[in-house]
Amino acid sequence: MEVSFVWSLFFITFLRVFRVHALLPIPIVSLEDKVKINEETKVTCMLPASDCQCLEVELRIITEQKLKNCISHKGNLPNVTCTLEVTEDMHEVEISCEAHFRTKSRPQKLNIQTEPEFTDCPDKLVWIEGQENSFHCKAKGYPPPTVSCVKDSTVYMEGEKFTTFKNMSGDYNCRAVNFDVVSKTITVSVQYEPVISPIIVHPSDSVMEGDNVTLVCEADAVPPATYSWHTPSLQVQYDHDNRTIHIKDVKKAHEGFYICIAQNQHGIQMRKQKITVTEPEIVPEIDISKLSSETGNGAEKMGAAYGGLLALLLYSSFHYLF
């Protein structure tokens, strides 16, 4: 019964003291902005009218006797318990408890103003046409710098997502900006599948037997494309890179479709070109002796006809006069 009363009295006393100290204001630490290295700065501790959220309490048992194994508990009802070896001469020994209250400010970070510096910004980037990409170019500094990359007046913010096109290849000027500016150049290479231009045929896609013809295939691709052909005849000659084929002494068997195939690691494209082969015209031989004989007989017949016509004209004129 007495123990229960003592604990009740202890808690009532504690709550009263806590209520009084709960009105204690909490100091606040105030720091300057834009703190720079190697310069002085002021730290101010202010005591507002009332703010007691950071109040701490420490309980101590006060006695002239030796205490052992003291265990403290924190929380909503803090307490401390110690062990005391009781002896006969401890009669009427005084024991008291002290509560020590401490307050502390909310922590504030000391921010030192520093110029921007790139920390993760590669010199070269490889993108694939049609895919989603962004610039991952990190920089440190305080205030935290803003990073952007520019090409042809187009600005891309760091981390901004966009679809890649082949015309995005080139050099970009990337800048990190706070109260100062640093910049660097990033080279971007955009890779894409082959696109074949119309096949060039020289001299023409319609040739006569016995002539020569050349076909040239050209594809726009990054990385560069490799070439192969499907041809109607195997009797063709290839250049070292397979872009060009030559056909000498064209035969009828060379007629048909020539298919160029261009491919790289990103895709493949085909384009075809038709070649038409015509036979040369055959001119019949002419017998010159027979041609001369026929020419002479014709002249004689034409002379006789002219003679008859002249006689008719003379007769008509004579008859008119008389």
Question: pLDDT, tens digit, for every residue of 99-141?
Answer: 887 777 788 889 999 999 999 999 999 999 999 999 999 999 9
Q: Which domain holds residue 203?
A: 197-278
Residues 176, 204 within the same domain = no
If one compares 292 and 48, the residue with the highest pLDDT of the two is 48
Residues 13, 99 within the same domain = yes
pLDDT surpasses 50 at 317: no
Residues 228, 182 within the same domain = no
Domain-located, residue 88: yes
Domain-located, residue 256: yes
Question: pLDDT, tens digit, for every residue of 213-222?
Answer: 999 999 999 9
Please, which residues have CB within 8 angstroms of residue 316's CB and are 6 or more apart in sequence? none
Residues 26, 64 within the same domain = yes
What total of structural domains would you count in the chain? 3
Which of 175, 193, 211 finishes a domain?
193
Residues 18, 86 within the same domain = yes
Residues 9, 88 within the same domain = yes
Domain-located, residue 51: yes
CATH of the domain at 260: 2.60.40.10
- Residue 98 tokens read as 């002290």
Residues 61, 144 within the same domain = no
Residues 175, 254 within the same domain = no
Residues 147, 186 within the same domain = yes
